[in-house]
Structure 1
């Protein structure tokens, strides 16, 4: 498992960016995170793991079983070791999964809110509730889903989102940048988050 560490003079906050969590998703997420690791503008300490596993049986991160798997244990170890305040999880999905991931009735169907399409099939939402419970209320946790059938086309845009998180020291600075770029979509994502967590947590 390759790991990059970028540390600025401030050393805080600690940020963790991970991809390739299961299946063959690393084929699509690793190139983006490899590019992120080459960035020269960053604040705090950033830990970047382009691919937790190159290939594995697909176990959904919404399931407890994932966190008992070899790759899930690796992920939990990274979180426990670095204790990130910013956590960005990069996934890849197939075209046939788009409707399920963005289904307005996803919460009723499987217990979690739908992702929001930022455009070009780039989906944004919170992380699995099972994992979110391992972070504090003040931590900033985001999932980005990359469309695997056009990953090269959207790579630059996803990288820009991650660079925003890499370069800012405060969550509100990142959220402001996202709202400026995707006003309608981020408003919807925040509303879905607040409804799900009943206003007990700030998005995300």
Structure 2
């Protein structure tokens, strides 16, 4: 049981990273990764929303939508729930951490439409359909691990981008081109973790 949860947690961080493996949530990944502190703040907010959204949407889908043949409404319902949670995060940050609220800017309300958050809530249902042992607890562990994976990707990439500022980059590669090249190299580096997770699952 514990080994299975650890495997789910590590897989969601390393081999099933929503940014670097599934390429979801690229907008904040490229937009808020210029500084480590804003990357961490954004990632903590996304992690909170991921876990809370999964905690709310899983039982709603399982015990309300499916029994009443309303499963086709899951996308609309999930987006509404995520939007409400993001509003909660926005209110808390505005009141208690205004500096982070101002630093995140437009990217904070964009968590509402962040496909990584929506992807977590929907893909755990697919995993549950494929594997009956993948229940509510596993879904929460997967959501938390996905949030930590988001944090790891953001912090690593923010560090890379800060290092690049001191580099002599050719004029034609400055800006978005070198950013995308760096992002692809960071994504490739995560392929090395596949054996570790496979060993735990095996």
Which one has a larger percent helix, Structure 1 or Structure 2? Answer: 2
TM-score range normalised by the length of the shorter chain: under 0.3
Which one has the largest radius of gyration? 2
Q: TM-score, normalised by structure 2?
A: 0.28
Q: TM-score, normalised by structure 1?
A: 0.27
Taking CA–CA contacts closer than 8 Å with sequence separation of 6 or more, which of the two structures ends up with the larger relative contact order?
A: 2
